[in-house]
């Protein structure tokens, strides 16, 4: 380091001491720049402004002495790399030297000054500052590199976690699809095979009865054949409806909940009237957004299911409504019918699952309902207090909004 590049800050409350020091430095280090302060506060301000190579500091000063000034310098991240050399003629005892080290000073010189020693100390301290700054820059750069690498690893780990979660979810979906495919295969091989056997058997009987011209038996044979083909047709129709959910791309419609429910009640007017079911519908002015035929099919299946399983309830009632669950609109279809054992809650939405094997239907209805809800970005679940205590089906749908929001085109 060249002398003409050195900046030295001297802090001393005695002007004569600063004058003498300036004269000495101009002789031994003619190119250096000397900056002076008469107290610790001003000295710290100049240190921040000038960033000197060395600070020469007196110990005995009024107000804040040299020890406190040094301690404050070393506690400041902006200044701690600047070496501090104590210069004193009054406090040269062993205790003062030890205290100087404790507050962070790099060196301690007594007065009168030895010019050779002073120059050597200043040059060494200037190099010490340069080396300390270089080490700090290296540490800061290393810390930055470590932080960057840590962030990159965290992002990579988060990405892997997302991929793993997606893989787990996909694996779960595949397993569910495989299980559904197995049930489908079983149903096709069993539920379709059974009516086919019936058709084949009674066609053989029909041939014999036609030959014998037994009209009563012919009529009975035809009745059995028609019943078997009707069962096959119902199952195939249900499977076809299930396969179409979400397969056709349609432009979503905005339709009021009341309009959807009214259309369903018109379709089910016969079964509702025959069973004498009372229907209560919410007055909430909600707008649904989605595939209108599928939304009608959703409410139709749930209402039809509720009417079908009323049991011997003397005052059958179904309530269609909506309530807030976790801040979201949840629709419900609640009946006071036969109810469902909560142990079977996980089975009722499974394809071809029927809690009563002897009941009418193919076991596709609630699986179809679940598929419609999922295609519309929602979820569905069942609640029941138990057998004989009614059942409530609850579900959410994406894109639901109030009539006022719809007028502002704020339906999502």
Residues 240 and 375 in one domain: no
pLDDT recorded at residue 376: 85
Residue 74 has pLDDT above 70, yes or no: yes
Greater confidence, 232 or 392?
Answer: 392
Kindly state whether residues 378 and 278 are assigned to the same domain.
Answer: yes
What is the Cα–Cα distance from 56 to 119, expressed in whole angstroms? 12
- Report the pLDDT value the prediction gives residue 173, as an integer from 0 to 100: 77
Distance from C-alpha of 353 to C-alpha of 362, rounded to nearest angstrom: 8
Q: Are residues 199 and 305 in the same domain?
A: no
Name the residue with higher pLDDT: 200 or 80. Answer: 80
Q: What pLDDT, on a 0 to 100 scale, did the predictor assign at position 312?
A: 86
Together in a domain, 261 and 401:
yes
Q: How many CA atoms lie within 13 A of 317 on its CB side?
A: 7
Same-domain status, 7 and 84? yes
Q: pLDDT tens digit string along 324-383?
A: 888 888 999 999 988 876 665 566 666 555 445 445 544 566 888 888 888 888 888 888
| 227 shares its domain with 368 | no
One domain for residues 233 and 283: no
CA atoms within 13 A on the CB side of 26: 7
Q: How confident is the model at residue 247 (pLDDT cuts 50, 70, 90)?
A: very low
pLDDT of residue 284 exceeding 80, the answer is yes
pLDDT of 1 > 50? The answer is no
Q: With 60 as the cut, is the pLDDT of residue 293 above it?
A: yes
Peptide bond before 112: cis, by omega within 30 degrees of 0? yes
More confident residue, 14 or 356: 14
Q: Is the pLDDT of residue 96 over 90?
A: no
Residues 356 and 285 in one domain: yes
The 3-state secondary structure of 315-362 reads: CCEEEEEEEEECCEEEEEEEECCCCCCHHHCCCCCCCCCCCCCCCCCC
Local confidence band at 44 (pLDDT 50, 70, 90 cut-offs): very high
pLDDT digits (tens, 9 = 90+) for 208-224: 888 888 888 888 888 88
Among 11-15, 236-240, 269-273, whose mean pLDDT is lowest? 236-240
What integer best gives the mean pLDDT of the chain? 81
* Residues 276 and 373 placed together within one structural domain of the fold: yes
Separation of alpha carbons 20 and 28, rounded Å? 13
The tally of domains found in the chain comes to 3
Q: Same domain for 309 and 210?
A: no
Residue 317: per-residue pLDDT: 94
Question: Parallel, antiparallel, or unpaired for β 84-88 and 54-57?
Answer: parallel
Same domain, 209 and 273: no
Q: What tokens were used for 26?
A: 């101009």
Asked whether residue 396 is domain-assigned, the answer is yes
pLDDT of residue 250: 57
> Tokens representing 258?
């009341």
Nearest to 202 by CA among 219, 215, 189: 219
| Cα distance between residue 237 and residue 240, in whole Å | 5
The enclosing domain of 27 has a CATH number of 3.40.50.2300
Q: How confident is the model at residue 238 (pLDDT cuts 50, 70, 90)?
A: low
Q: Is residue 148 part of a domain?
A: no
The DSSP-derived string for 272-304 is HHHHT-EEEE----EEEEE-HHHHHHHHHHHHH
pLDDT at 249: 45
pLDDT of residue 344: 58
In a domain, 279, yes or no: yes
Its pTM stands at 0.47
- Residue-range definition of the domain harbouring residue 121: 3-137
Name the least confident of 117-126, 190-199, 309-318.
Answer: 190-199
What CATH number corresponds to the domain at position 368?
A: 3.30.565.10
pLDDT, one tens digit per residue, over 381-403 is 888 887 888 899 999 988 676 65
pLDDT, tens only, 153-194:
888 888 899 899 888 888 887 787 676 666 556 555 655 665
Q: Please say which residue of 102, 122, 137 terminates a domain.
A: 137
Please compute the mean of the pLDDT values over residues 19-38 and round it to a whole number.
Answer: 89
pLDDT at residue 79 greater than cutoff 60: yes
């Amino acid at each position: 380091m060249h002398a003409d590049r050195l900046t030295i800050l001297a802090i001393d409350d005695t002007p004569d001491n600063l004058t003498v020091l300036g004269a000495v430095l101009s002789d031994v280090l003619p190119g250096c720049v000397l900056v002076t302060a008469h107290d610790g506060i001003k000295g710290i301000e100049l240190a921040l402004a000038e960033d000197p190579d060395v600070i020469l500091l007196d110990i005995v000063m009024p107000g804040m002495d040299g020890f406190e000034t040094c301690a404050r310098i070393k506690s400041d991240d902006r200044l701690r790399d600047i070496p501090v050399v104590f210069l004193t003629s009054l406090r040269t005892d062993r205790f003062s030297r030890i205290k100087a080290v404790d507050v962070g000073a790099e060196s301690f010189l007594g007065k009168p000054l030895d010019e050779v020693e002073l120059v050597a100390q200043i040059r060494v301290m200037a190099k010490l500052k340069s080396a300390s700054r270089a080490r700090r820059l290296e540490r800061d750069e290393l810390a930055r590199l470590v932080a960057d690498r840590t962030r990159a690893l965290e992002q990579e780990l988060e990405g892997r976690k997302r991929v793993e979660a997606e893989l787990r979810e996909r694996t779960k979906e595949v397993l569910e699809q495989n299980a559904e495919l197995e049930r489908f295969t079983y149903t096709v091989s069993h539920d379709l095979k059974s009516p086919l056997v019936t058709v084949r058997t009674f066609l053989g009987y029909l041939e014999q009865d036609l030959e014998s011209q037994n009209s009563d038996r012919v009529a009975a044979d035809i009745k059995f054949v028609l019943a078997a083909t009707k069962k096959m047709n119902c199952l195939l129709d249900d499977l076809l409806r299930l396969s179409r959910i979400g397969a056709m791309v349609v432009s979503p419609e905005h339709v009021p909940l009341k309009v959807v429910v009214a259309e369903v009640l018109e379709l089910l007017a016969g079964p509702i009237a025959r069973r004498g079911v009372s229907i209560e519908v919410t007055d909430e002015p909600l707008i649904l957004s989605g595939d209108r035929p599928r939304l009608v099919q959703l409410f139709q299946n749930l209402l039809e299911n509720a009417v079908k399983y009323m049991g011997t309830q003397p005052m059958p009632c179904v309530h269609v409504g909506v309530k807030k669950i976790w801040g979201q609109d949840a629709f419900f279809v609640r009946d006071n019918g036969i109810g469902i054992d909560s142990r079977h809650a996980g089975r009722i939405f499974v394809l071809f699952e029927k809690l009563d094997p002897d009941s009418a239907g193919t076991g596709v209805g609630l699986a179809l309902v679940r598929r419609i809800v999922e295609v519309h970005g929602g979820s569905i679940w069942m609640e029941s207090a138990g057998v004989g205590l009614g059942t409530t089906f609850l579900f959410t749908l994406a894109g639901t909004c109030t009539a006022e929001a719809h007028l502002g085109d704020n339906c999502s």
